[in-house]
């Protein structure tokens, strides 16, 4: 919580849950802990690989100052052009599929029941 703003997805979720009594997001601590695990897994494992797959396409949907900001901040972060991942896109797609394979297998199992 900084200067009246709540930053970061997890902090926003917690703020909403703590400040709105109706329709609680977390029904118990186990639910909250599992949600936090999913948040961490998604942000640390899935999103970095997904970014490599789609980074070169994101500028096509941005306009003016958003486009400039996106390119500047992302290229600083990855230390190069956002197109640098494009030649390896199929490898990143395979990596992403491996990361989500446990969920996909569980989903198939659940659908058969």
Give pLDDT tens digits for 50-107: 999 999 999 999 999 999 999 999 999 999 999 999 999 999 999 999 999 888 866 5
Residue 50: what pLDDT?
A: 97
Global pTM value: 0.75
Residue 28: what pLDDT?
A: 92
**Mean pLDDT, range 2-29, rounded to an integer:** 86
Q: Does 113 have pLDDT greater than 70?
A: no
**Mean pLDDT, range 3-27, rounded to an integer:** 86
Q: What is the DSSP string of 49-79?
A: HHHHHHTTTGGGG--HHHHHHHHHHHHHHHT
Is the separation of the CB atoms in 17 and 24 below 8 Å? yes
């Amino acid at each position: 919580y900084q200067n009246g703003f709540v930053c970061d997805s997890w902090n926003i979720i917690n703020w909403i849950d703590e400040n709105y009594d109706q329709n609680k997001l977390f029904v118990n601590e186990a639910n909250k802990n599992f949600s936090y695990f999913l948040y961490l897994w998604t942000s640390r494992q899935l999103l970095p690989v997904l970014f490599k797959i789609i980074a070169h396409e994101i500028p096509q949907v941005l306009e003016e100052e958003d486009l400039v900001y996106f390119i500047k901040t992302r290229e600083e972060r990855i230390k190069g052009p956002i197109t640098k991942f494009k030649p390896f896109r199929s490898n990143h797609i395979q990596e992403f599929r491996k990361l989500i394979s446990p969920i996909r297998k569980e989903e198939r199992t659940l659908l058969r029941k």
